[in-house]
């Protein structure tokens, strides 16, 4: 089977969140299962682009409304990621350092999608499955079926995976002029709430729709920023498939970004050394439990609740724990978090920004990982933390519900709470401190956490069944 993934992110070429991790790993494991799996994404001006060698494999031209442009498809020479990675170069539109955040993002991603279908229409033998991810690739199933120039593509089956339904890629009808000539009788497929809605269009037009956990699939019918009735209506073609993690990349025994390697056999010593390293680096108290938050500082992750919750937790427990917050996002949240540094020296710190190494060091050195997310389609961080023997403290939602059981329950290995509120977080911190003080139980929980397997191997066959069903 030949599968082509279309995505705005793919680690290590470009990553803004979990989407990049998933698209950077899933194809590798699909290839291991014996299928041909490839990725096409925009050519941003990232370090990975500059530090690697590329072959030009296709040059084409098409148009975005009345703007005619040339595009080039390049391929990474060595297949070092374990699969073929293709980049779409549209000069002036995509070749910028950031993935998102420009005023013309709508034009950029429509341009990307138009170039992809144009390129695909020149393949001598097309893929069996086009697997599109999130709204930046959401118009492709529509274009393949209803754009007159791309009729040759209409029999290729499409799968659409939702990594985050909070972002719809909605735009005014004026943008319809940017799409290649399309069958206007089909305008209802583009429409949602008087706008063109890329996510809704993909849900309507793809042959199968998946999202990244079963619980989130269910929640979409109640909480998807306005698309609830659509998910209710289309549920017959929708399925929730929990993500895996790349166990080769995320392995505390070999991870080059982790200062002291360890495995399930010797985690006690390994984690202690890594914790010492982190505590020295961030001026924290190695004797106290270390709770980290790693993620974007945005409402979805409930980052706005953190400053108040951390302050209350530290006051109530008489600084019984350390907190380290790693991430960037809303500036008000960033400053509120930074303000606490002077109030709680020696037990609290922040790293505003994100880089992979800082994240890996924190998974290895922390005792607990806090994820109070309001919305969490899957969540990869709790799975990384389990693998690194860091006990997850999660709000009971989406993929967090599907991957973390509470230490109060039979066989549980995490701390779960119901609400993204200061009260629930403070209570969970008290429970974490209690667990930390019971050394024997803590070690048993870490052992249990590290033995949980979220590798991609078992997940790829589920995707394969989805492909085969269409």
Q: Which is nearer to ligand GLC, 200 or 242 (CB)?
A: 242
Q: Which is nearer to ligand GLC, 93 or 383 (CB)?
A: 383
Residue nearest to ligand GLC (CB): 18
Nearest distance in Å: CB 12, ligand GLC: 16
Is residue 265 helix, strand or coil?
coil
Is residue 101 helix, strand or coil?
coil
Q: Which is nearer to ligand GLC, 380 or 446 (CB)?
A: 380
Cis peptide bond upstream of 48, omega within 30: no
Residue 165 contacts residue 218 (beta carbons within 8 Å): no
Nearest by Cα to 292 from 429, 450, 407 = 429
Nearest distance in Å: CB 16, ligand GLC: 8
Residue 362: Cβ within 10 Å count: 27
Residue 62 contacts residue 119 (beta carbons within 8 Å): no
Residue 465 contacts residue 459 (beta carbons within 8 Å): no
Q: Which is nearer to ligand GLC, 246 or 376 (CB)?
A: 376
Q: Which is nearer to ligand GLC, 142 or 384 (CB)?
A: 384
Nearest by Cα to 43 from 83, 80, 78, 85 = 85
Nearest distance in Å: CB 21, ligand GLC: 7
Q: Give residues in contact with ligand GLC (CB under 6 A).
A: 17-19, 22, 163-164, 212, 243, 376-380, 399
Nearest distance in Å: CB 352, ligand GLC: 20
Nearest distance in Å: CB 378, ligand GLC: 3
**Helices H / strands E in the chain, number of each:** 17, 18
Q: Where are the alpha helices (DSSP H) in 183-330?
A: 187-190, 198-205, 214-219, 228-233, 267-282, 306-316
Q: Which is nearer to ligand GLC, 24 or 111 (CB)?
A: 24
Sign of CA dihedral 238, 241, 243, 246: negative
Nearest distance in Å: CB 213, ligand GLC: 8
Nearest distance in Å: CB 6, ligand GLC: 15
Q: Which is nearer to ligand GLC, 168 or 431 (CB)?
A: 168
CA–CA gap between residue 248 and residue 25 (Å, rounded): 10
Phi-psi region for residue 231, left (φ > 0), alpha (ψ -120 to 50) or beta? alpha
Nearest distance in Å: CB 223, ligand GLC: 13
Nearest distance in Å: CB 22, ligand GLC: 5
Is residue 306 helix, strand or coil?
helix
Q: Which is nearer to ligand GLC, 134 or 422 (CB)?
A: 134
Q: Which is nearer to ligand GLC, 153 or 378 (CB)?
A: 378
CA–CA gap between residue 319 and residue 285 (Å, rounded): 10
Nearest distance in Å: CB 421, ligand GLC: 20
Is residue 210 helix, strand or coil?
strand
CA–CA gap between residue 150 and residue 351 (Å, rounded): 48
What values do phi and psi take at 127, rounded to 5?
Answer: -65, 160
Residue 233: Cβ within 10 Å count: 12
Nearest distance in Å: CB 18, ligand GLC: 3
What values do phi and psi take at 295, rounded to 5?
Answer: 165, 175
| Bridge partner list, 368 | 291, 391
Query: Would you give the distance in Å from CA 117 to the centre of its chain?
Result: 25
Q: Which is nearer to ligand GLC, 73 or 459 (CB)?
A: 459
Q: Which is nearer to ligand GLC, 209 or 212 (CB)?
A: 212
């Amino acid at each position: 089977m030949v599968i082509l993934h279309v995505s705005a992110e793919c680690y290590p070429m470009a990553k803004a969140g979990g989407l990049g991790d998933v698209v950077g790993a899933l194809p590798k494991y699909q290839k291991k299962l014996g299928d041909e799996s490839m990725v096409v994404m925009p050519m941003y001006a990232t370090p990975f682009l500059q530090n690697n060698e590329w072959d030009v494999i296709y040059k084409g031209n098409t148009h975005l409304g009345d703007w005619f442009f040339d595009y080039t498809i390049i391929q990474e020479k060595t297949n070092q990621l374990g699969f073929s990675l293709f980049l779409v170069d549209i000069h002036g539109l995509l070749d910028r350092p950031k993935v998102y955040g420009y005023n013309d993002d709508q034009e950029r991603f429509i341009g990307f999608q138009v170039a992809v279908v144009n390129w695909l229409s020149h393949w001598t033998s097309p893929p069996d499955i086009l697997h599109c991810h999130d709204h930046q690739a959401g118009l492709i199933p529509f274009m393949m079926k209803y754009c007159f120039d791309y009729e040759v593509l209409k029999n290729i089956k499409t799968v659409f995976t939702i990594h985050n339904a909070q972002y719809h890629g909605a735009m005014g009808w004026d943008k319809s002029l940017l799409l290649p000539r399309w069958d206007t009788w089909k305008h209802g497929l583009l429409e949602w709430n008087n706008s063109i809605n890329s996510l809704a269009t993909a849900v309507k037009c793809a042959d199968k729709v998946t999202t990244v956990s079963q619980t989130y699939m269910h929640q979409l019918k109640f909480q998807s920023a306005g698309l609830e009735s659509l998910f209710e209506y289309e549920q017959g073609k929708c399925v929730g498939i929990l993500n895996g993690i790349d166990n080769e990349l995320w392995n505390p025994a070999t991870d080059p970004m982790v200062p002291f390697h360890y495995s399930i056999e010797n985690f006690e010593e390994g984690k202690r050394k890594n914790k010492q390293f982190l505590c020295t680096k961030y001026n924290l108290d190695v004797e106290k439990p270390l709770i980290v938050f790693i993620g974007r500082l945005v409402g979805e992750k409930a980052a706005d609740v953190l400053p108040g919750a951390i302050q209350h937790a530290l006051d109530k427990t008489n600084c019984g724990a350390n907190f380290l917050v790693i991430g960037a996002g809303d500036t008000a949240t960033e400053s509120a978090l930074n303000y606490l540094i002077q109030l709680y020296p020696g037990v609290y710190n922040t790293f505003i920004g994100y880089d992979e190494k800082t994240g890996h060091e924190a998974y290895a050195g922390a005792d607990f990982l806090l994820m109070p997310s309001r919305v969490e389609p899957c969540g990869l961080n709790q799975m990384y933390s389990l693998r690194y023997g860091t006990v997850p403290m999660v709000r009971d939602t989406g993929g967090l519900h599907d991957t973390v059981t509470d230490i109060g329950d039979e066989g549980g290995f995490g701390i779960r709470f119901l609400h993204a509120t200061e009260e629930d977080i403070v209570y969970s911190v008290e429970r974490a401190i209690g667990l930390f003080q019971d050394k024997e139980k803590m070690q048993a929980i870490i052992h249990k956490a590290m033995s949980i397997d979220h590798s991609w191997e078992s997940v790829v066959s589920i995707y394969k069944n989805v492909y085969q069903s269409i």
